[in-house]
Amino acid sequence: MRFCAGLLNKKMKNEKFTIILAEDEKDLMEVYSIALGKRFNLFVAENGKEVLERLKESNGKIDLIVLDIVMPKMDGFDTLRKLKKDNKYKNIPVVMSTNLSDSRDRDEAIDLGAVKYFVKADRTPSELAEDIANILIEQK
């Protein structure tokens, strides 16, 4: 398991937020890990099953999860369904990410409880980090 620690900006009042990034594309995982690791404590997972493992390893002390939709073993939608049915994890904000610009996928993600949906090509890793910071600040 890879773990990256990062400093948070002043805007986040020095709170240490911890997130899980689920991404099966190695190159994207690396790029996102660099950007997110600068601002958050970061666990990474390559599929939905690994997300559930990371949650157990952290004793549920995760502040936000970024889920790719298309992943092997357990996709983002199935993972989101499991999270929202589990009382320990249902209140963790989930951001869905995808390469697909399909309004049906976006609607399904929001209906299942995702707080945000983004198309990877439309957001730089730095913009994603800023979006996550804003979501976490709003949740606190």
Give the separation between CA 50 and CA 44, rounded to whole angstroms: 8
What are the structural domain ranges in the chain? 3-139
Q: What is the pLDDT of residues 11-68, one digit of tens each?
A: 445 568 999 999 999 999 999 999 999 999 999 999 999 999 999 999 869 999 999 9
Centre a 10 Å sphere on the Cβ of residue 97 and count the other Cβ atoms it contains: 24
Quickly state the pLDDT bin for 99 (edges 50, 70, 90). Answer: confident
Is the pLDDT at 4 greater than 80, yes or no?
Answer: no
Q: Which residue has the higher pLDDT, 16 or 87?
A: 87
Cα distances from 62 to residues 99, 102, 107, 111, 121, in angstroms, run 25, 28, 25, 22, 26
* Residue 11: per-residue pLDDT: 42
What secondary structure letter does DSSP report for 66? Answer: E
Mean pLDDT computed over 2-14: 42
CATH code of the domain made up of 3-139: 3.40.50.2300
Q: Which two tokens stand for residue 4?
A: 């990256």
Q: What is the pLDDT of residues 100-124, one digit of tens each?
A: 888 898 999 999 999 999 999 898 9
pTM over 0.75: yes
Closest-CA residue to 40 (of 122, 139, 138, 130): 130
Give the separation between CA 48 and CA 43, rounded to whole angstroms: 13
Report the DSSP pairing between strands 116-119 and 94-98.
parallel
